[in-house]
Structure 1
Amino acid sequence: MTKLLLIAIPTYNRASQLQTQLAWIAKEIKGFEADCEVIVYDNCSTDGTQAVISEWQPVFGGTTLKSVRNPENIGGMRNLALSLSESKSRFTWTLGDDDPVDEGTLAFVMQTLRKYPDLGLLYLNYSAYYTQLDQMNHDRWLPTDFEQQPVDGKLAFQRCIEGPYTVGGVIFLSATIFRTEFTQTALRQWPDSVKNWGGMAFWTGYCATQGDIFVTEAKHLVCVVGVSKWEGEKKIHTRMLSKDIPEVCFKLQEIGYPHQMSRRVIQRSLGSYFYWARDVLSYLRPFKDWPLEMASVGAFLLFSLGASVLEPNKLKESSESLEPSAMSYGTAQERDR
């Protein structure tokens, strides 16, 4: 029988963090054992990850807890995509191995999915902890003015990705519960999304075109910022801003999102790039191909400026309003009347 929810945990060499996360799940899953399964996607860890999984398997009892171990490290994005592509459950929660989740969150997720089984996407609002600063940001990263029920997926996704954190706000894996079949279609539609650091924004954006979204007002977890290796590599950060984010935006346009949304997201993302202008020398110094990187930035700036000039004559503005006052989108059933 198909389970309602798969909790998929991609991991690599974080045995101690995985130990804590499995302890949280073992406590939270009581009462939902028949509807859940837990699979750890081990990206060829060399620490005690497999021993941790074996230790917890007897504890889970009636719930499936198993491990899929890659024979080699296939990269973080590919490992994440693997967990989604292999899921047999109706929904898939991609849960990070180190992200603290509030008590009672799994119960809320299960109750919401049971009540709204046709959701395209469930977003859990969250705050952030910056490890390098040892500082907590208590602001919610997703908009909080949505009705606490399913709303129009496409419009809600536009609000989220155009928020202050742009693409970063919609690619936090632990905050995202995917409708599995929609995500698998997205992966088939753009298989190279696994090569893009922001590719998850396309997966979630596609899910939003297929069904309603529920965005929680309450915070349910914390995004731990600064522990991933890529977050400290400025070349990767520059690539995300100059190549990956624009590419994601163009792919979202292909599935029906307006050009104006793409332009705003790209401009805001590039704005964050120039915020780091004081570090420009340290950005350029390690690059062998820095002229290409800077040319990419310039090209997208010219694209944005050119689009602004040509927009009245050559681009069709979406008729859908994105003003905050229009947040009562209604459910799919109400819109179909």
Structure 2
Amino acid sequence: MNKLLTITICRFNRATFLDEQLSWLAKAIKGLASECEIILSYNCFTDNTQVTINKWHKIFNQSLFTTNKTKSTISVVATISHCFQSAITKYAWVISHDDPIQKRTLEYVINILRNNPELALLTLNFPRLYVGSSKLAHEPYFPIRNKEIVSDCKPLIDNYLHKNFGSLAFMTAQVYKIQAVQ
């Protein structure tokens, strides 16, 4: 069976956040591992990231968890591009190492992708939290009350980007069909 979703985590330093994100993923992926691969893409680091990576390599199956370390610092866009090129699945979800995600979200994403194989982009609604706490800084960004399949999502995305000046907080809310991105 082919895997459905590549979950890729982009990061630079901040090993504590990476450890928390991989802890979430270890719990969320139970029962879904056969449909997923994990790519950790990171720039050269100056903290104890390698210790964190070694810990999680022992926990995740090696065929499920791969890493890509650049020799020099590259842009976020270049890192994300590498993830899309490396993915062996139909879809890719690029998440930031410091964005908290609910445990049930991965199962939700997998179910949406299974049931809607024509999707080119899945946009998840999200609030913004203050860094270092769980205090709400902004309500969910999209005025969607129920799950919707929209053929033209441009107005929603343009509205978000206009309000937030292209903020990368939007990154973790996107699941892309690899074929559409390439």
TM-score, with normalisation over the residues of structure 1? 0.49
Q: What is the aligned partner in structure 2 of residue 27 from structure 1?
A: 27
Higher relative contact order (CA 8 A, sep 6+): 2
Q: Which runs of 5+ in 1 are unaligned?
A: 185-337
Mapped to 2, the partners of 1:136 and 1:12 lie a distance apart of 25
Change (3 A) 1:24 1:9: same
**Any residues of structure 2 matched to 1:191-206 within 5 Å, and which?**
none
Displacement of 1:96 in angstroms is 0.6
User: Runs of 4 or more off by more than 6 Å in structure 1?
Assistant: none
Contact 2:27 2:103 in 1 (8 A): no
More helix by share: 1
Mapped to 2, the partners of 1:52 and 1:71 lie a distance apart of 18
Displacement of 1:45 in angstroms is 1.3
Displacement of 1:181 in angstroms is 1.3
Mapped to 2, the partners of 1:132 and 1:39 lie a distance apart of 25
Backbone CA RMSD of aligned residues: 2.4
Change (3 A) 1:170 1:22: closer
Q: What is the aligned partner in structure 2 of residue 173 from structure 1?
A: 171
Change (3 A) 1:132 1:6: closer
Contact 1:142 1:160 in 2 (8 A): no
**Any residues of structure 2 matched to 1:106-125 within 5 Å, and which?**
106-125=106-125
Identity %: 30
TM-score, with normalisation over the residues of structure 2? 0.88
Displacement of 1:86 in angstroms is 2.2
Change (3 A) 1:62 1:149: farther
* Counterpart among 151, 159, 162 of residue 162 in structure 1: 159
Question: Residues 221-273 of structure 1, C-alpha deviation per residue, up to 9 Å, x if partnerless?
Answer: xxxxxxxxxxxxxxxxxxxxxxxxxxxxxxxxxxxxxxxxxxxxxxxxxxxxx
Mapped to 1, the partners of 2:17 and 2:169 lie a distance apart of 21
Mapped to 1, the partners of 2:104 and 2:134 lie a distance apart of 26
Letter in 1 for 2:174: T
Q: What is the aligned partner in structure 1 of residue 81 from structure 2?
A: 81
Displacement of 1:44 in angstroms is 1.1
Change (3 A) 1:116 1:62: farther
Larger Rg: 1
* Partner secondary structure for residue 7 of structure 2: strand
Mapped to 1, the partners of 2:142 and 2:106 lie a distance apart of 19
Q: What is the aligned partner in structure 2 of residue 148 from structure 1?
A: 147
Mapped to 2, the partners of 1:37 and 1:132 lie a distance apart of 28
Letter in 2 for 1:151: V
Q: What is the aligned partner in structure 2 of residue 183 from structure 1?
A: 181
The answer to which of 125-134 and 113-122 deviates more is: 125-134
Question: Residues 302-336 of structure 1, C-alpha deviation per residue, up to 9 Å, x if partnerless?
Answer: xxxxxxxxxxxxxxxxxxxxxxxxxxxxxxxxxxx
Q: Which runs of 5+ in 2 are unaligned?
A: none
Displacement of 1:170 in angstroms is 8.2
Letter in 2 for 1:31: G
Contact 1:92 1:179 in 2 (8 A): yes
Mapped to 1, the partners of 2:123 and 2:63 lie a distance apart of 24
Mapped to 2, the partners of 1:67 and 1:178 lie a distance apart of 20
Contact 1:9 1:39 in 2 (8 A): yes
More strand by share: 2
Contact 1:36 1:63 in 2 (8 A): no
Letter in 2 for 1:181: Q
Mapped to 1, the partners of 2:164 and 2:16 lie a distance apart of 31
Letter in 2 for 1:165: K
Change (3 A) 1:158 1:74: same
Q: What is the aligned partner in structure 1 of residue 44 from structure 2?
A: 44
Contact 1:143 1:160 in 2 (8 A): no
Aligned length, in residue pairs: 181
